[in-house]
Every structure is written in C-alpha cells, then in structure tokens.
Structure 1
Amino acid sequence: MITHHTMPHPPAFLLKPLAVACLTLPLAMPALAIERDAQPTQSDQLADLSIEELANIPVMSVSKRPERLQDAAAAVFVITTDDIRRSGAATLPEALRMAPNLHVARVNGYSYSISARGLNQSGNSYSNKLLVLIDGRSVYTPLFSGVFWDAQEVLLEDVERIEVISGPGGVLWGLNAVNGVINITTRSARDTQGSLAVLQAASDGATASFRHGGTSANGIAWRAFGKTTYREDSELASGAPVNDAYRRTLVGARADWQRGADGFSLIGNAYRGRFDQPAPGEIAAPGVPATLGRVRSDGVNLTARWEHALDGGASMMAQAYFDHTLRRTEPLFGERLYTTDLQFQHTLAPIDGPAGAHRIVWGANYRSSRDRVDNSATVAFLPARTTQQWASLFAQDEVELGQDWYLTLGSRFEYNEYTGTEWLPSARLSWRLSPQHALWAAASRTVRAPSRLDVDTYLPGRAPFLLRGGARVRGEVAQVFELGYRGNPVAPLSYSVTLFHHDYDYLRTTETNPAGFITFDSLMEGRASGIEAWGSWQAAERWRLSAGWTAMHQKLRLKPGSSDINATRVAARDPAHTFQLRSVYGIDDRRDVEFTLRKVAGKSFPDVPSYTALDARFGWRMRPGLELSVTGENLTGGHGEYGTVVYRAEIERRLGVKLMWEY
C-alpha cells in the first residue's frame, strides 16, 4: 500500500494572508508613506525601451566586453527588466519562455526541460548542452552536465537582463556551451536602494518576496533579499494529482562599491527546497502515479568580483566563487557537491593594425569540485567520492578589416578529467552595412564533455551490475555553421534572422553486449538545421507587437556497432517548430495590458501533442511605487508539455494576482 504525502493547503499557509494583504495594503499606504527619492522606482518606469534603444542595449555574452546588441555577431535575444515585470513571471523558467530561441517545457510542478536547437537527449528532462550562468557563476552540475532548474532561484525584480544566445559559446564560456548560453545578470546594489515587497497569489500556490537596500557611510551599496514559494500538486489530464507539490525559500545579499578605477562586488545566496517526486509508471490507483519520495535541494554560494579600469579602454577582471549544493532524491541517491571556481580576464586597449584596430580579450579559468554521492540499492555512482578539475585558457581578437568589416577569431583550450584537453575554436565575420543593418557568419567547434552520469553510473544486476558505466564515452562534438542578419530597416521595426547547421559526432548511446551487460558509448552522429527569427514592431505610440518563430530538422544515425535502437528517437525529442506572438499595450500612463500566444509543435518518443497557450496580464500602477497586476496563464485550456501520457502533468489554466510595493 502506497501512501501519499500531503502538504498544507495554500489558503491556510500563504494564500489567505496574501489575499488579505492585497486588499488592505493599498488602504494603508497613506499611513505608511515615507519620503521618496527623486529617482523613479522600477514600477514607475512606464514605457518599454524604444526600438532604437533596444538595438543599443549593451550585451556582454558574445565577446565578454560591452557591445551594442545590433553589432553582436551571434543569435542573441535579450530579456529586459521591463519584459520580466510585464510578463508576470514568478520563476526563472517562466521568464525564459519569452526567449523565442529557447524551448521551455514544464515537466511537472517544479521541473522544466529547457533547451536550444534540439538534442535534449540527456535521458531525462535536463538538457546537457546548454550552459547557464547567474552573475558569472555557472550553475551546471558535473553529475550530468545539466541544470537542476528547481534549484535556480533569483528575485526576478532585481534581474537587470537575461542574455540568451542560441548556438555555440565555447570560446568564451567553455565546455558544455554547445547549443546555447543563458547569462543572467542581476542589478547592482546601487540600483536597488530602498525597500521592495512583492506578494503574489495564484490558483496553484503563492510567492512572497522582500528586498531592502542602502548605502553605508563609506560608500558601500548593499541589499538583502528573500523569497518563498509554494506550489501545490499539478494534475494529470484525468484530474488525478501528480504528487509534485513543493516549497522553496531563498535568502541572499549583495554589496557593490567603487574605489577610483576599481569596482568590487560580493554576492551571496542560500536556498532550501522540498519537493514531492512522482514515480513514472508506478501506479498507486488507476491513473495516479505513486510518490517516489521527497527531493531535498539545499545550497549556498558566494561570489566575489574585482574589476579594474585601465587606460585607453583596457580592463582587468578577477572573479572567485564557492558553491555548495546538497541534493537528496529518496530513495535513489544523495549528492553533496563543493565547487570552487577562479577566473581572470584581461581586455586590452585597441591596438592599431594595417587595416584597423585589434580588440583582444584573453583569460583563464580553473575549477575544482568535490563530489560525494550516497548510493542506494537502486542506483550507484562509482567511485562514490571523486574530485574533478577543469582548467582552460582562451583568447579572442576582433580585427577591423576595413570600413564596416570585422573578423573575430577565438580559441579556447580546456582540460577535463575524462577526455583530457579539448580545442574550441571559432571564427565570426560581421559586415555592418550601416548603424541599422548587420550581416554576420560564423563557424565554430564546440564540445560537451562527459559527466559522471555518462561514465560512473552503475545499476545493480547480474554479477553484480547490469549497467556498468561508460569507460568508452567520448566528448560530444559539434561543428556549427551560422548565417545571420539583424536590422532596423524603418524606425518602428527591427528583426533578426539566423540560419544554422550543426554537425554532431560521438553522441551518447546505450549499448548492450551479447552477455546482456549494458554500457554507455558514443556511437551516434547526425545533423540539425534550422532557422530562428524574431522581431518587434511599434504599431502605435503605446502598442508594441513582438513575434518569434523557429523551425528545425534533425537527422541522426547510429554508427556501425551500435545496438541502441531507441537512441535516435530519444535524442530528437524536440518540436519541429515553435511560434510566439506578444502584444503590449499601454492604455494610459498607469495601466497596461499584455497578451502572449505560444504555439508549439508536437513531439514524439514520448508522444506529446502540439499545443497552443494564451497568457494575459493587466497591470495598474495605483500610485508611484505601487503596482497591482492580474494574470491568466494557459487561458486556452490545459495541455501537456513533456513526458508519457501515463504520468504527464497537465498544465492547467492559472489565475493570479500580484502586488508590488517599492518605497
């Protein structure tokens, strides 16, 4: 007999207090009012950036130095602070849905599958070819080279921007940046002075956040913040619960200060998560998945950064971070991971050459991790305790070939414990026809290094293991070719189009030998080709339309000697095309309304039907610093986004209200 763990229902836990607060707080505002600085708060910034201002947004992820988005020779999409505020998103994955070059699929109440350009083939819901950074700290786990999205929490109101690059980023960011890079940057403490309170209640849970910032007598700007979230069980299409409720809490602080040419930042976070985990395929009652066990996800991290400005536009940067995570997935395994990372970067002043200037950036990175796994009778990682090291050196030079022509050459050499030293080269050519138009082309080689999941996984079976790791697994290699255009042909319109082709080799397979033993190997190859396009049109002074479309074709094949008949179907589990349309309309200076329509093609193995989702938000700035918004998600009806029909969570309609108060 299987019993289900139940959690307190949110109305008694959070929803009732939040509802009362949402009703009473506006009435109490006059009594709580305090003197405000002349500088407007975040919620007072009423309008989106203009089309021209969007093109001039500085991005860092393409060349590791500030450059105009319009000039970046890569498929990069930027999610701004205002985009996040208007979306009504409560979590990072929800905010990432705005990037048209990402595929974001919700697996259950807390788990997401997020990928770019396909090959989400890690064997579970975690893409292993997408590198994610939060304030310069890589959040991938060497356990499987992917990201536990349920452990990634930030105060969204403090996010400055999210840069999403689809395509390789190995030269600047290293191994595992094969199909994309997500670079999340939070705002300086200097930009978050004063206090913030956010209360958010929805039909399936609630969120409460706070932040308070100030400046010390010696000029150190700081902020402290916290966030707690509760979500109740999601449901199957039959209405049965999936047993995936969760609670998550985040607290942290940040300090920034400037001393002449030197800038310093110190960022610390601690989080705790408790999740129910459904057991796929195990049925406690007709149509109801059993609860496999609780998931415990705790962590603490600290990042220190120093930046020094040199003469002539040169600069130096040094960063160090420590990250400790604890994850227990009952009854399968538990893991403690300690990561220490050191980075250095030097950007040289422009050097005059025969045709034009050279802009050179180089740097080095060293990372060490200590991993301790508590094995079980169900699954084992052997050795249970291991220490891994990564070391890399990179350099990139942007050469001005002539008027409006720029060639960027870069290379990184990176060492890892499993495959030794990998070479990651890249060449990018940009033709800036005018300040409003740019053509670019790129060729790159990038690698996804093996993880502990690929090499060290063992499953009990005959004498004594059925699955015996993957000693023959190689790094997954991608040769990538891209051609792109980004332009602002007329004042109200801008768009970006990218054609891409990826040639893959040594993709992971699961092989069975004649004796019946299973091992991992690298006996699959193939290619993926497609197009990514997005743009914005200022249809009227207060009305903006944004759209995005992707289409992709993958063709994978097994190499001689492979017996993994399902490998090609498992790897090609991505939608062939996606489409989104977003409309933002400012009714007046205090009210705005937003609609987002998403259309995602169906997937196979497991079969997931195509779906259409409509989200809406109405925002009302009742007074300076006080904003009330009402959101509706999936208004077109429930749908599944990932997994087999037996245990696929149904993404239902979701209604919510949010109150944000800055003072």
Structure 2
Amino acid sequence: MTRHLSFLLLGMVTAACAQASGDQDGERTAAERQAAEFADLSIEELANIDVTSVSKRPERLQDAPASVFVITADDIRRAGSRSLPEALRLAPNLQVARASNSGYYISARGLNGTSNSPANKLLVMIDGRSVYSPLFSGVFWDEPDVMLEDVERIEVISGPGGTLWGVNAVNGVINIITRHAADTQGDLLALRGDSDGAQAAFRHGAGDAGHRWRVYGKVFGLPRSELNTGAHIDDAWDQGQVGFRSDWERGADRFSVNANAWRGRQGQPAPGAISAPGAGTGVDDIITRGANLSGHWEHALDDGGSVSVLAYVDHRYRQVPPTFTDSVDIADVQVQHSLPALGAHNIVWGGEYRYSRDSVTNSRFVAFLPASDKQAWASLFVQDQVALRDDLQLTAGARYERNPYTGAEFLPTLRLSWRMSPAHSLWTAYSRTVRAPSRLDVDAFVPGAPPFLLAGGPRVRSEVARVFELGYRGQVGQDLSYSVTAFRNLYDHLRTTDLTPAGTIEFGNQMEGRAHGIEAWASYQMSEAWRLSAGVTALRERFSLKPGSTDLGSLATTGVDPAYTAQLRSNYAFDSARELEVALRRVGPVGLLAVPGYTAVDLRFGWRFAPGMELSVIGANLNGGHREYGVAQFASEVPRSLGIKLVWQR
C-alpha cells in the first residue's frame, strides 16, 4: 500500500505544478460545480437522458426498445459506492454477488457462474473498450477500475446485445461512460476511511475552450476478510491506478484520448486453508498489472450523418501462483457510419477487428496448450430503424462475426416499439446471440491420468441463446416513472464436462435449458425533497442434458442464481447542503451453494458544510454481515462497515 500512496503523492505534486500554469478563466468555481452535482435530475429529466448502448446512436431513455437502466453520477454519489461492483448494485436488473475482497460474480438474467464455468455471458465496456478476458470470456472484476467521481453514467442493458456488440453479449451489456474532460476542470481530492479499508484519489483538470484534459490517481487497500466464524481468509488487497483523458474539437471533428495504468496485489488462501484471527495462511500473492490507451474520433457529415472510429490497445498481466501466469495484449479497431435519414429509415453500420496475443506460463496444476496463441476476431453489423408510423418503429439488425474457434456466427435481432403516447411505450423483441468458446474451453488441460484429468474440447461449439422480450415503459406526470420487462431465454449447446471412453473429462456442449422471468423498477418523487426508487426481479431456470451426455455435474451446478431480488432506496434532501439516503436490499437464497437469503441495509448522510467541501458518513450492511456467493467454508462474509469520506474541490 505504501508504494501506491507514494505514487499518488507524486501525481498530486505533478498536478499542482500543472495547475499553477493552467488557465482557469471562465470556469465555474468548485462551489458552483458541486452545487450542480448535488442537485438530482428530475424524474422527467431522467426519462430524457440520452443513451447510446441500445442502438449505437443517442436516443431518449424513454424511447429505447430494450430493458435498460441508467446509473447516474447522482446515484453513485448518493449511495456512497466505493468501487465499480458496488455501484453496479444500484441497477435492479443486475445480480451482484461478492465472494471475497476482489472476487465478484455479476450477471443479468441468471447464469452467474457455475462450478466449471465462471460468469461469462455479460459484456462490460469502459468508454467503448471491452474489458472481458479472452482467457475465459468473462471479467476479472479486480481489473476494471475507474475513479467513480469521473463517471457520467453507467448504462445497464439486461438482455442480448450481440447485433451491435458481438459475441458474449448474451445476457446483458454494461457500458461505463466517463465524463468529458470539460466537466472535470479544477482540482479534486477524495479521502475515505472505512472499518474495512481505505482509499484516496485526486484529479486535476485544465485546458481552454477548444482543448480540455484531466489527470487522476487513486489507491485503495482492503484488509483480510473473515468467515462467519471469525476466521480470517488471506485475501487482503491493495491497488493503485493513474490515468488521463483529453478532449478537443476542430470544426466538425471531435477527438478523445484516454489512458490508464494500474497495479495490484492480493492475497489468496491456500485450498482449504483458514486462519485464526491474527494468523496468516495462504499461498503467494496474486500480482496484477495493466495499461491501456484508446483514441476516439467522430466526424459530423454535412448531410446529417456521422463517422466514428474507436481504437485501443490493452495490456494485462496476471500472476496466480502456483497455477498459472497470463500475459495478454489486445488491439481493437471499431468503425461506425450513421447514415442521414433516408425517408423512414435510419441506418447505422460498421465493423470491428480485434487481435490478441496471449501467453500463459503453465504449471503442474494447469496448462494451456499451446501456451502462447495469437487470435483475431472480425465482424460487420448493420441496423435499420424504420418508422412504420409516427408512433410505430421497427428495428432490424444483424451481425456477422468470425472467431478463431467456431468460424462465422450470425447474430440477428428484431425489435418493435409502439409509442402509445409521448410518455408511454410498449416494445417487444427477438434476438439470437452466442457465447463463443474461449481458451479455457479449448486449450485448457489439467495433468493426470489418462493422459489428462481434464482436457479442452476439440469439438466445442458456441453456446446459443434465443431470447424473447416484452417490455413497457411509462411516466405518469412529472413524479412517477416505471419500467416492466418480461423475458424468455432458450439456451442450447451449454457447456458440459463429459467423460470420454478413455477416462478423460472433456469440455462439451451437451446441455440445453430455458429461463424466464420479469424485471421491474420505478422512481417516485414523493415531494420536492423526497424521492423513492424501487426494483424487483424474478427468475426461474431449468436445464437438462442431451441424450448421450456423460456429464459429471454441470447440470447440478448450472443456474446458481437467486429466484428473486428486490431493492428500495429513499433519498431525502433536508436542504441544499444536506441529504440522507437509506437503501434496503433483499436477495433470495441460492440452494446449491447453501447461501441463505439475506437483507442488507445501507445508509449515507452527506453534508456540504463549506464551498467545495463535502463530508459523508456511510454505513453498509448495518443490520449485520452475510454471505453472498460460495460455500460457507471458503466464502467470506460481506461485513457490516462504517466509513467517512471527505471530498474537496476547487
């Protein structure tokens, strides 16, 4: 932790020197900026937020024909979230479960990981940069990180997004969008101490009317967590990150450059090892580090269309003793062309090319063969929004994507939206999407007789989902908005572990299944000072093996999801400087893992006691700790915690 604090202090000195020479003429004062951030968006303004993840072009949230929930910067601040996974708990259409300090299982509409398959059907992006791992098609949640004060909004789509975003966007898409550099001018320092950890962050932004930029740095540390018995688990974690963003415009062109670098260390318990309070038991620490650089260019055409290019490079390194070390380099280019309106048609099309170089250092416990591999993905997509009538819109699209293991995949979607009135809309959709195999499915081997205990499947195919949706979104006056979506997912070729005649366990695709459920949320402005928000999900999953399968347990361990979740949030502003948020979450039990249902009560009191100064008192799980994922002998308790946060800006 010390080295990261030194890194942060060095960055703060650099920022101070830069600020001394920066030109701040015409900028709002810190008090003005903080006052603007302190004021919540109205219910009507929330419905009019532009979202881009549904159709890859700005559209009103009220008009988007998909189950999309937007987590705003206001939401994150009011809740007192201290990490990205904690902020994602605010989306009622996500299931977020913590298994350890750095281990999270996050999914939408089920399939949130199994004993042989980590959660791998949710696409996560930060400013358009995908953060899933080519090693297993999922997300290592200790890697993607942002300074939460820099987040503009998080768009959470539950349901398929394969047509616009490609394979692996099966059950949902999370698009984390950070603020334009012009919105983060001046200096900011955030310090937070909790009973179970601490963090610090700084930001400096400067520039002129045509070119704005910012730099930031953050560090945090978490101590070892505990079981419900009080025994410690060796999962202490500290990490530091720095980065910058630059935005500028030249006529019809807009440019943005974003870069980040991070390094972390976290303990890991030896299998079955638990220590008494004060003792230390485990294997060598996990070491993670990475860096990325992305550039985005958008050009407005004279005819009303636009062209954009997003390109990025990403390096990630993960050392997990004594099992494996993985080093991956990724280069990605995305091109998109939005045509001007052609009568009733609005067409957007584009393509993407992604290249990765992955190198694994094998061990006697697990091996990837070949140890080093180079892979490429290429795709083309097109989507047309057709105005059948003034109040009726049809969206048809398809994506053709080629991956290294199964070749070409076809990902179509069809959506129909009926705007019953300016404030009410009904929509329905059908989509086909897939989860393409990863290196884990094909190249992973576990040594043992005969001649391997477990082997990647040479005939592994893509997992397929056909999804039917029906949704309704409405707003009653200026005080109430709500959204309800029913869905049915039909799965085929889900991954299994089959026993071959030679006695080797081999990955296959001999399972099928179905899931159906409902998700709903609403916000109600009780008074000018008081707002209530609520959300609920219900899910039922059923899976079966195909004839001839010799699977050894996938059927029993698939669908490790609660049957229901619910949340209620209350925010009350006493005046322009003081506010109180109280949140109540209820999550149903997970029978397979013997995780009992739990209720969590969170609270935050915020006080803007001076211009540019805000103090928060934050309590999480105030009614007591609980387990969220994993068997009791190894999964840590999510503890009760109390914290104080101070934010200074000018």
TM-score range relative to shorter protein: over 0.9
> How many angstroms apart in 2 are the aligned matches of 1:471 and 1:43?
59
Is structure 2 residue 592 aligned with structure 1 residue 605? yes
Structure 2 match to 1:409: 396
The answer to whether residue 373 in structure 2 is matched with residue 381 in structure 1 is no
Change (3 A) 1:286 1:473: farther
Alignment match, 2:196: 204
Q: Aligned partners of 2:57, 2:321: CA distance in 1, in Å?
A: 44
TM-score under structure 2 normalisation?
0.94
Asked if 2 retains the 8 angstrom alpha-carbon contact of 1:282 and 1:289, the reply is no
Listed as ranges, the matches of 1:172-571 within 5 Å are 172-215=164-207, 219-283=210-274, 290-352=281-343, 357-571=344-558
Q: Is the 8 A contact 2:521 2:533 kept in 1?
A: yes
Structure 1 residue 35, shift from structure 2 partner: 9.5
User: What is the aligned counterpart of 2:50 among 31, 51, 58?
Assistant: 58
Secondary structure in structure 2 of the residue aligned to 1:109:
coil
Following superposition, the deviation at residue 281 of structure 1 comes to 2.7
| Cα distance in structure 2, aligned partners of 1:282 and 1:196 | 42
1:626 and 2:613 correspond: yes
1:294 Cα deviation from its structure 2 partner: 1.1
Amino acid in the other structure paired with 1:161? R
Amino acid at match of 1:324: H
Amino acid paired to 1:229: F
Are the counterparts in 2 of residues 126 and 148 from structure 1 also a CA contact under 8 Å?
Answer: no
- Of the three residues 614, 623, 628, the one matched with 1:641 is 628
Distance across 2 between alignment mates of 1:557 and 1:574:
17
Give the C-alpha shift of residue 285 in structure 1.
6.9
Give 1:37 shift: 3.8
| 1:89-104 equivalence runs, <5 A | 89-104=81-96
Say what the alpha-carbon RMSD is for the aligned residues. 2.0
Residues 304-357 of structure 1, C-alpha deviations (whole Å, 9 max, x = no match): 1100011243111011100000000011100110000011000011111xxxx2
Q: Which whole-Å CA distance do the structure 2 matches of 1:566 and 1:639 have between them?
A: 27
2:78 to 72, 86, 91: 86
Please give the secondary structure, in 2, of the residue aligned with 1:279.
Answer: coil
Distance in 2 between residues matched to 1:379 and 1:290, nearest whole Å: 22
* Alpha-carbon distance in structure 2 between the residues aligned to 1:528 and 1:208: 42
**Contact 1:240-1:288 within 8 A present in 2 as well:** no
The one-letter code sitting in structure 1 at the alignment partner of 2:442 is V
Q: Distance in 1 between matches of 2:54 and 2:367?
A: 39
Residues in 2 aligned to 1:543 and 1:394: alpha-carbon distance in whole angstroms: 44
Identify the residue that residue 29 of structure 1 maps to in structure 2: none
Inter-partner Cα distance in structure 1 for 2:335 and 2:267: 40
One-letter identity of the residue aligned with 1:316:
V
Aligned with residue 73 of structure 1, among 52, 58, 65:
65
Task: Name the residue aligned to 2:140.
Answer: 148
Unaligned runs of 5+ in 2: 10-23
User: Within 2, Cα distance between the matches of 1:300 and 1:265?
Assistant: 17
Query: Partner amino acid for 1:345?
Result: Q
For the 8 Å contact 1:633–1:654, the answer to whether it is kept is yes
Q: Is the 8 A contact 1:142 1:452 kept in 2?
A: yes
Structure 1 residues 572-611: aligned runs within 5 Å: 572-611=559-598
**Equivalence for 1:169:** 161
Matched, 1:107 2:94: no
Q: Distance in 1 between matches of 2:554 and 2:116?
A: 13
Equivalent residue for 1:24?
none
Count of aligned pairs: 632
CA distance in 2, matches of 1:371, 1:60: 31
1:288 Cα deviation after fit: 9.1
Q: Report the AA paired with residue 150 of structure 2.
A: D
Q: Alpha-carbon deviations, 1:238-283, whole Å to 9, x = none?
A: 1111110011000001111000000000000000010101234345
Q: Distance in 1 between matches of 2:320 and 2:406?
A: 29
Residues 537, 545 of structure 1: 8 Å contact kept = yes
Counterpart AA for 1:551: A
Tell me: CA distance 1:147–1:452, structure 2 relative to 1, closer, same or farther (3 Å): same
Q: Deviations over 1:340-380 (max 9, x none)?
A: 0011000011111xxxx200000000000000000001100
Structure 2 residue matching 1:281: 3-state secondary structure: coil
- Name 2:601's counterpart in structure 1: 614
Alpha-carbon distance between aligned partners in 2 of 1:182 and 1:215, rounded to the nearest angstrom: 31
How far, CA to CA, are the matches of 1:359 and 1:588 in structure 2? Answer: 45
- One-letter amino acid matched to 1:314: G
SS in structure 1 opposite 2:74? helix
Give, in angstroms, the shift of residue 516 of structure 1. Answer: 1.9
Over the matched positions of the two proteins, sequence identity in percent amounts to 59
Contact 2:115 2:554 in 1 (8 A): no
Return the letter of the residue paired with 1:606: L
Q: Is this contact kept in 2: 1:238–1:287, CA < 8 A?
A: no
SS in 2 for 1:185: strand
Letter in 1 for 2:597: S
Q: Deviations over 1:373-397 (max 9, x none)?
A: 0000110011000001000000000
Q: Between 260-269 and 511-520, report the one with greater CA deviation.
A: 511-520
Which runs of no fewer than 5 residues in structure 1 stay unpaired?
1-6, 19-33
**CA displacement at 1:514 relative to structure 2:** 3.6
Distance in 1 between residues matched to 2:448 and 2:198, nearest whole Å: 44
Q: Within 1, Cα distance between the matches of 2:369 and 2:174?
A: 31
Write the distance in 2 (CA, Å) between the matches of 1:124 and 1:100: 27
Shift of 1:44: 4.3
Checking the alignment, whether the CA contact within 8 Å between 2:93 and 2:158 is kept in structure 1 is yes
- What residue identity is the alignment partner of 2:272? G
State the Cα distance separating 1:624 from its structure 2 match.
2.3
Quick one: which amino acid aligns to residue 472 of structure 1? R
Q: Aligned partner of 2:231: which letter?
A: A
TM-score by length of 1: 0.93
CA distance in 2, matches of 1:603, 1:497: 24
